[in-house]
Every structure is written in structure tokens, then in C-alpha cells.
Amino acid sequence: MNFKEKRVVITGASSGIGLALAREFARLGAKVAMGARSGEKLETLARELDPSGERTAWVVTDVTKESDCKKLIETAAERFGGVDILICNAGISMRAIFEEVDLSVLHRLMDVNFWGTVNCAKYALPYLLESHGSIVGVSSVAGIHGLPGRTGYSASKFAMCGFLETLRIENLKKGLHVMIACPGFTASNVRFSALTAHGENQGESPRDEGKMMSAEEVARRIIRGVARKKRTVLMEFDGRATTFIKKFAPGLLDRLFYKHMAKEPDSPFK
């Protein structure tokens, strides 16, 4: 797939996977509309990608607000004449067991990860149907099998996957491509901003960043998946193994996930 002149909308574009996606799409010749909560970061990124300002657009976007999502999509459509690719990447994580977590944390996860996807998809869909375009949800291995200590994260990613799969089926004969990308643990800001049991940012990642896939590599694999019109992109061995074991030995997978998460520093699991 030639991405030159393709019109791409990316949420959560100011850091991590979203930032890497914006840079890679721009390098491939696409026109990029970016949404995130930090206008300052978006403005700096837009100048970096295209000093002329002709091939980029940005909108301060809180994806939990329907009006912000509508403005982002409409800005892209007005500036570029439509939308070819929507990447719903904005997301937050958490780290707390359900027994101890405030329910407000789970509501926040659902608002950002699930409703943020729904809000953007609602307003992008007419343009994507017109262009026979692609909608991509950046999910997680936690959207394939429940991840202990991340109840809200897994629930929101499962919800995202169910929504996107249904959207694919509803538009089966209309030329819409729907892809679910499932990175494993990625070296990005999402863990530093992960919410604790009471809703504060955890601040320090409990995992070794050096052993994780980079955001740039995740972005390249997502873009390759869009080019190949894939349904699902599993990024690494963990994702493929999770899918395989879940089919044949889900109880074993429960124990493996528990053991894996118990190795984290200060893990509530022993």
C-alpha cells in the first residue's frame, strides 16, 4: 500500500506509539491529523513533520469528550478533503488489584480506552466508508486474555475489540477495513502514567524498559498491517502464544499470567 497522500488521523499522537505513528506516516508521504491533550506538544510535532503546515493538522483532543473527537475528525476532513485511516491509539493503563481499586479508576479507563475509540469512530465512519478506508484500534495482549492487576485495562481493551469486530461485520460489504493491533509491553509513557488504586499516576515503571519492543517498531508493524489489510496484528511471541494457549489450555494461561505478573516489583501476587 502506498501511503503517499493518504489522510491519516491519530489519537494520542503526542507521545509513545502515537508519536511514532505520526512520524512514520509523515515519512511515508501521508497527510497527518493529530489529536492529544497537549497542544504545545502537538504544535511542536506538526512543525517537525512539515514546517510548511500544509500536510499536518492538530487539535487539542480529550477523547473522552465527544465534541473534541468530532472536531478532530472534521478538522482532518476539511483540511485534507476526507479521511483514509483512523488510528484510535489514545489510552491509559492501571496497576492495582480489583479488591483495592477505586471504581472511579475503572470508569476512567473505560472512558479513555473504550469510549475514546467509539467517539472517534462515530464521526470518522462516513468518511472511511466513502474512501474504503481503515480503522485501527490499538489494543493489547490484555485485550486477548485478562491481565491480573489490570482489571480496568483488560476490560476496556476487551470492550474495544468487541466494538471493532462488530463494526467490521456490520460493514462487511462496504469496503471498510478494521484492524486490531495488540502490542505486548511496549517502551512508552503508558506505564509511567498508569493509574494506581486511587487514581494517581504510578510515576515509575515496574518493568525493565530495555527488554520491551520500542514504540517505533510497534508503529512500523501497525502500518505494515494496514498495508496488508490484516484483521489482527500480534506483535511478538507473547501475543501469538497467548492466542494459541487460550484456545487449548485457558487454565494454564491463567496460571502463566499470574506467575508472570507476580514477578513484578511490589506485586500484590505471590
**Amino acid letter for position 120:** C
CA distances to 52, 93, 212, 215, 228 from 188, rounded to whole Å, are 29, 12, 9, 6, 25
CA distances to 113, 127, 146 from 94, rounded to whole Å, are 12, 33, 13
The continuous run of DSSP H or E covering 34 comes out as: strand 31-36
Q: Which three three-digit cell numbers place residue 79?
A: 483540511
The reply to whether 153 belongs to the active site is yes
Q: Which three three-digit cell numbers place residue 35?
A: 489529536
- 45-54 long-range contacts (CB < 8 A, ≥24 apart) are 45/13, 45/14, 45/19, 48/23, 49/22, 49/23, 50/26
User: Active site residue: 123, 127, 153, 258, which one?
Assistant: 153
Q: Buried (b) or exposed (e) across 128-152, using 16+ Cβ within 10 A?
A: beebebbbbbbbbbbbbbbbbbbbb
Owner of C-alpha cell 485534507: 80
**Which residues, 6+ apart, have CB-to-CB distance to 22 below 8 Å?**
10, 13, 32, 34, 45, 49
State the catalytic residues.
Answer: 153
